[in-house]
């Protein structure tokens, strides 16, 4: 029992010493030190122990400082420079002109595409008229060839009409 009580006493003392020593432990702050040696060279370090004892009387300690948030950018009308408002107005006018030019170019491209579709529709309508004329000239008798030719022409006409409908759906007027 004597050994057990010694062990418990020793463990208690070590625990007590550890708890008492904890508040004096070095802090984990991010600090660095500056000093100047006899040759005039400036040194920076983050370890106090690395500073020679002869220079410890001139140490300057620096701690990391959090930078405040950057101020918000000034509002558009709150510029101190009187010429800045004029420059800003010129930039806005240039942007407006650029947007107008882009809109005009887009409108012209749309009109050009529309005209191209109208040309395609007209060409398809001419083909339909030609097919209808050809279908009218085919003799309608009991010959198989004439029926096949007439059926083929009617299918081609229906296909061309579908193409016209598709073009008209693409371009709303």
CB 65 within 8 A of CB 52: no
Helix H, strand E, coil C: the string for 22-63 is HHHCCCCCCEEEEEECCCCCEEEECCHHHCCHHHHHHCEEEE
| Tens-place pLDDT, residues 42-96 | 888 888 888 888 888 887 777 766 666 666 666 655 555 667 788 888 899 999 9
**Mean pLDDT value across the chain:** 79
Q: Does position 136 have pLDDT exceeding 60, yes or no?
A: yes
What is the rounded distance in angstroms from the CA atom of residue 149 to the CA atom of residue 74?
A: 80
pTM metric for this prediction: 0.41
Which has the closest alpha carbon to 35: 17, 19, 50?
50
Tokens of 129: 């008229």
pLDDT band at 159 (very low <50, low <70, confident <90, very high): very high
CB 32 within 8 A of CB 46: yes
CB 43 within 8 A of CB 54: no
- Whole-number pLDDT of residue 133: 85
Which has the closest alpha carbon to 54: 75, 73, 37, 29?
37
């Amino acid at each position: 029992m004597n050994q057990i009580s010694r062990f418990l006493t020793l463990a208690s003392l070590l625990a007590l010493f550890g708890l008492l020593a904890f508040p004096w432990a070095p802090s984990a702050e991010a600090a660095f030190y500056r000093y100047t040696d006899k040759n005039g060279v400036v040194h920076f370090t983050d370890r106090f122990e690395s500073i020679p004892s002869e220079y410890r009387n001139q140490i300057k300690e620096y701690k990391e400082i959090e930078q405040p948030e950057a101020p918000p950018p000034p509002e558009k009308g709150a510029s101190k420079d009187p010429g800045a408002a004029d420059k800003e107005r010129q930039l806005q006018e240039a942007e407006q002109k650029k947007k107008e030019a882009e809109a005009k170019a887009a409108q012209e491209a749309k009109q050009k595409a529309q005209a191209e579709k109208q040309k395609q529709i007209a060409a398809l309508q001419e083909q339909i008229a030609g097919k209808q004329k050809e279908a009218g000239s085919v003799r309608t008798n009991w010959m198989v060839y004439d029926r096949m030719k007439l059926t083929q022409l009617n299918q081609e006409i229906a296909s061309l009409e579908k193409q016209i409908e598709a073009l008209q759906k693409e371009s709303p007027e």
